Homo-oligomer: A and B are copies of this chain.
Amino acid sequence: MRAESAGAFEPNCPSRTVLDHVMSKWGVLVLVALTDGTARWGALRRNVEGISDKMLASTLRTLEADGLVERTAYPEVPPRVEYALTPMGEQLMERMMPLMQWVLANADAMVGAGRAQPASAS
């Protein structure tokens, strides 16, 4: 390492924690699902295919605690709750989306394929 990211290698660096939240299986997908704007619980549940109530709940709570996602509950009946990225969350996603899009574009070539050439990008 040329030191720019040295901190990430220390086990108790806060970045490790954030990284684990943000880069987790469901964390990424939930964040991506919110990049388009506010979404309700049910929408997220449907959008992020395969996620369970439990995982959606805990993922959202973690991201909220990290200050990346904001939760707004409306005192109505039936209940309505909306989730949105905070300014922090949006900054994060600005940097995450290019990565996501590259992965999406190249995933097919990678899985199993091994030595495929990158789809002329960059």
Partner of A113, one of B5, B67, B87, B96: B67
- Total count of chain A residues near the partner, CB < 8 A: 66
Stretch of A28-36, A52-60, A73-81 on the interface side: A28-36
Task: Among A8, A28, A35, A116, find the residue whose CB has the most chain B CB atoms closer than 10 A.
Answer: A8
Please tell me if the beta carbons of A111 and B14 are within 8 angstroms of each other in the complex: yes
Contact B91 A102 (CB under 8 A): yes
A4 partner, pick from B49, B99, B101, beta carbons under 8 A: B101
Per-residue CB contact flags for chain A residues 35-67 toward chain B (1 = under 8 Å, else 0) read: 110000000000111100000000000001111
Interface residues of chain A, those whose CB is within 8 Å of chain B, are 1-2, 4-5, 7-11, 13-15, 17-20, 22-25, 28-29, 32-33, 35-36, 47-50, 64-68, 86-88, 91-92, 94-104, 106-118, 121-122
A sample of 11 more A-B contacts (CB under 8 A), given A1-B47, A87-B118, is: A2-B36, A8-B32, A9-B29, A9-B48, A10-B49, A23-B24, A64-B114, A67-B110, A67-B114, A92-B102, A94-B122
